[in-house]
Chains A and B, each alone.
Chain A
């Protein structure tokens, strides 16, 4: 028995290594595997070609989300290519005996929303999905990360993947968050400090009282965005907040199994003397509501600031100039007051009940700006039901907003929810890449509060002025 101090990440990773290959990757056992319609069809085709089977179908969960429509879900999907992918997911799931929450199923929704809200995601697990935002599930003290389709095929056929163990980084944020500063602002702030590649090669643990005091929804938002600074994933040690969230969920352990699980989960902490390869510490008081001005999530700033000069930043001047040109912005100009054409609230980043509560807190008693098109998209049917039960639906309707049906929607615009070329969208999603929300679209990433402030004023607005 070794007494060497270890990190939370080491504890979970090491407990899942079946074989260490010399001068190669570790063979890592995977506890939970999520699949969706876009990145799984070719993996199933691979199984068929090789003549191999799904090894543990009970440990894979399918949900349709990436290209599903967000209105009229009871009708056949109009786009034949999307319909074909949805059918492939359904057929493959049925063929191999995999749980499938397709369109119309009351459990359907975005994979990284439905996994946690149904208790599939638990502390200490290894979780993968053919989607980079699988890092979301790290909020529960799980090792969760996105994989490619070849790896989806590996997990289906062997419940394992082969990965070199990443380096370890800890990011501490302590102090008290200011007015209107949400978990989304915390993560956009961190990414702006580290840059879009600042954590590549690392797995991150978030620590400090800001995360300890955060809800599970907030922790999911933070862990979700870990990939946007290049990290494979991010995780937060499980605590009472985590256990209370999981307890009673459909797939959570019950009775004796719960007690046993809980005893184990409580051991999932980084030891006091454990070492990280890199460590950063930030003061919560330095974070204000954030907004991005460029074409990667590292190009973010406090909403009251001005767009930085290329010469004040690391990185290539030509790439920076290309980015600002795409956005139609200039160095040194403020973001406040810029006209907004679209507002999107939703996605695996900010599509949970707390996000809609925040959005409603600003739009309550106000009206949607006439020229703004707003897409309000819950992360799941369960979130949608909560929105109705809590009266948020009425607030939205009175303010002139339409509630849509769950799905990934305008986050990656695989369905009809596309921002037109040249238009500006304040979006609670995770990526502001060129064309991410539709060819030629211009994305300003922000929190649900900043999105709400833009939706009612029609321009980029500091939400602190409306609260």
Chain B
């Protein structure tokens, strides 16, 4: 088992209604120098979160005590740019288990699932409804049900279903990862490699 299982999560959320949040913002390159997967949450959104003198930027949402929770809600095209898995590690290490957006960059989405974060892609109107619910009540809770593939705004009862392929869903529900799967098919890989052109 590679990570905690993900089944159903009910939590308040942190809103970040900005588009094109790239992985350089999620974790700047100068914080990629570790050789172990530890402590990346401290530098999550580092340059949006702290001034040069290390004092917190008061207008950034992670420094606003009103908002907390295990769900991060971002604007369109979340996680673009660099393939650094450190971005997903930082989000996980900070305490998030689910990221909601109307559109994800491919590599970030894959990296998230591979470490046990559920990326939930919703329609733009539904994303807008989530932001509105959080504006009305910063403690507004969302329920993400992986088995049912639904996300609910608890206060309004608005529900939307989301896509995830059956294989990845099974992995997340059980805490399995791709390496477990691939280790079990090594003979098949060996046979393929022997016949390979390269």
Contact = CB atoms under 8 A, between A and B. Distances in A.
Contact of B167 (A21, A46, A439): A21
Contacts of A64: none
Contacts of B18: 318-319, 322
A277 interface: no
A147 B111 CA distance: 8
A18 B168 contact: no
Q: Max chain A CB contacts within 10 Å: which of B111, B182, B193?
A: B182
B105 A154 contact: no
B159 interface: no
Contact of B19 (A84, A151, A154, A319): A319
A56 B193 contact: yes
A439 to B, nearest CB: 6
A42 B37 contact: yes
A22 B77 CA distance: 28
Interface in B78-109: 80-86, 88, 103-107
A159 B188 CA distance: 12
Interface stretch (B4-12, B27-35, B61-69, B132-140): B27-35
A222 B104 CA distance: 23
Contact of A153 (B84, B179, B181): B179
Contacts of A316: 19, 75-76
B24 A434 contact: yes
A177 to B, nearest CB: 28
A296 B20 contact: yes
A197 interface: yes
Contacts of A50: 179
B35 A319 contact: no
Interface in A141-165: 146-151, 153-154, 157-164
Contact of B181 (A131, A162, A421): A162
B22 interface: yes
A137 interface: no
A379 to B, nearest CB: 18
Contacts of B145: none
Contact of B182 (A160, A163, A434): A160
B55 to A, nearest CB: 14
Interface in B30-49: 30, 32-37, 47
A295 B80 CA distance: 12
A56 B182 CA distance: 14
Nearest to A24: B167
Contacts of A147: 83, 107, 110
6 closest residue pairs by CB, A with B: A24-B167, A23-B166, A148-B85, A148-B111, A81-B33, A146-B83
Given A149-B85, A412-B82, A434-B47, 7 more contacts: A67-B33, A82-B33, A153-B179, A162-B181, A200-B104, A319-B18, A413-B29
